[in-house]
Amino acid sequence: MELKQINDHCFYFKGAVNIGYIKSEEEGILIDAGLDDSAIKKVLKQLDEKNWPLTHLFITHAHADHFGGAAYLKKKRSVKVYAPELESAIINYPKLEPIYLQNGNNPYKQLRNKFVEGKPVLIDQTCSDGSFKIGSIDVTLHNVSGHSYHMLALQMNDVLYAADSYFDEKTLNKHNIPYIIDGLETINTLEKLLTIDVKGAVPGHGDYEENFKSTVEKNIKYHQTVEEELLKIISREESTPIEKVIAEFCKHCGVKIENLTSWALYRTAVSAYIKKVVEDGQVEMTFEDNYLSLKRM
């Protein structure tokens, strides 16, 4: 976790998942807490060496790679923890993630791992979008849902901590099918990011960029391409069971599913794109022989 400085107040620890840091004289806010104890320990070590303050933790969304280290942090330090409404419920009861990933069933034990189930953390205060005060530091929170239900990006003056609202190019290409839970909200959020007036942004995965809006544009194009390819698969037959569409689409994208976690994540992501094309009227849902199926309009 290499510490990177953006300006006098804004920093981030660069890792597979970035951890943001905002500092004033007496207060320090971490933005997200990394995947596990080891990630947050590296951050604490560096803050301690510099004797920099740590008083608050803001969790952007309830994905284990962003809050998995929070339980350790809360045990070791007296920090006040903030998270968005709804996301807070999952952070308090992280078993909810494998539950929803498995269609509401009590999850298989293979789905109860640190990548989809962080350690529980009690949130001190939930928040929503708008102007907000963390300690004495003024920030603006932006609802950037689409990748998660109520993810919030945090703006401090002219720097945006964008969470997973967009991905850098490397991350986009690595996952082939980016993880989202709602295709329409994802696009609306990306378009909203283009209107936020800041000097630069740091995503949850990737580097701080002043020119982040061109990366956001690339994200929009990427999602549009995914949608076009998905529509081609749905158009192959008169109607196709949704599970077959998901499997065929993963194959088309070069994804080879070999465990329950990746099955659950890809299934959710492809379903999010399917939801979009159903909601915008390009595809119809039908029931054929008890299969939920998709039909091109």
Q: What are the structure tokens assigned to 217, written together? A: 């544009």
User: In angstroms, what is the minimal distance from the CB of 237 to Zn ion?
Assistant: 33
| Radius of gyration in angstroms for the set of CA atoms belonging to the chain, rounded to a whole number | 20
Residues 205-264, interacting with Zn ion (CB under 5 A): none
By beta-carbon proximity to Zn ion, the closer residue of 97 and 164 is 164
- Is 117 among the residues that bind Zn ion (CB under 5 A)? no
* Residues 101 and 113: beta-carbon distance below 8 Å: no
* Contact call for residue 63 and Zn ion (CB under 5 A): yes
Stretch that binds Zn ion, among 124-132, 160-168, 210-218, 274-282 (CB under 5 A): 160-168
Residue 242 has φ and ψ, to the nearest 5°, of -60, -40
For residue 150, state whether it binds Zn ion (rule: CB under 5 A): no
Q: Tell me the closest approach of the beta carbon of residue 24 to Zn ion, in angstroms.
A: 27
Asked if residue 276 binds Zn ion (CB under 5 A), the reply is: no
Q: How far is CA 6 from the centre of its chain?
A: 22
DSSP label of 106 = P
Complex with Zn ion: residue 32 or 233, whichever CB lies closer: 32
Q: How many residues line the site for Zn ion (CB under 5 A)?
A: 2
In single-letter form, the type of residue at position 240 comes to T
**Closest approach of Cβ 239 to Zn ion, in Å?**
33
The CA distance from 199 to 292, in Å, is: 46
82 vs 150: CA distance, rounded Å: 13
Paired residues of 19 in beta bridges: 13
Residue range at the interface with Zn ion (CB under 5 A); choices 22-30, 58-66, 106-114, 118-126: 58-66
Site for Zn ion contains 164 (CB under 5 A): yes
Q: What angle do the packed helices 183-193 and 212-235 form, to 10 degrees? A: 160
Q: State the residues that interact with Zn ion by CB under 5 A.
A: 63, 164
